[in-house]
Structure 1
Amino acid sequence: MAAPTTGSEDTPPPARVRERPSRLVDISVALLLLVADAVIVVVDVLLFVMVGMGRAPSPHSPPTASARDVPVVTWLVVWGLPALAATGAVVHARLRMPFTAVTQGLFTLACVLLAVVWTRMLLA
């Protein structure tokens, strides 16, 4: 006859709990991404100003460009950056890195605001 089983043999092993990175690593990554995000936002604003000035109609010429003249790749770039930023924020939140997740969340908000501004300029 088989020996009686105890309750511990039938239960599966506990699921592995993902270890949280140290606060020092989290803050270091957040600061590194903050610098990179600031560079991206500054370049985006400079491009916005340069493209906006280039698209401004001359007072002596009739307007020739329309919203349909904007290539699809431009829309992918304008709205792809906020999508990538949001993905980064979710990934860092899943990795249990709160400082980095908040930094990337704020960057996502800045990217969405800039995408709305770009869209308004391109449709004008």
Structure 2
Amino acid sequence: MISHCIVTNYTPPHAFRRNLSLALIALLLVGFGACQYPTGPSGTNGVGITWKGSLASAPENPQTNWAYYNTTDKKSYIYADGAWTIFSQDGSDGVDGKDGDKGDTGATGAKGDTGDAGAPGGNGVGIT
């Protein structure tokens, strides 16, 4: 298999670019193969974050790259350069949606929503 890499800064007219793009795609699909370049140097390793959890206030005696979520102000903080800095925060609530349609009314009893009349009371006692 032959492997070719074409690198150019030339920008041909639009119609030619379109046809050239289609031709290059076709060539790649039928076996021109991918360009092979040497692997570059590895990047610098990053730093880890120590998650301290959800707390009402900052943890005591913080160390660099400690992070926590403040349950009082709804923000996450990270400790760096001797200070707590906002790392992320909760978004605001969206607009309430439209109320839904009212549901069907349930059935009522034989006498409506009042019960049967109670039995008459006895004669009262007079106070003098």
User: TM bucket by the smaller chain?
Assistant: under 0.3
**Structure with higher RCO (Cα < 8 A, 6+ apart):** 1
Higher helix share: 1
* TM-score using structure 1 length: 0.21
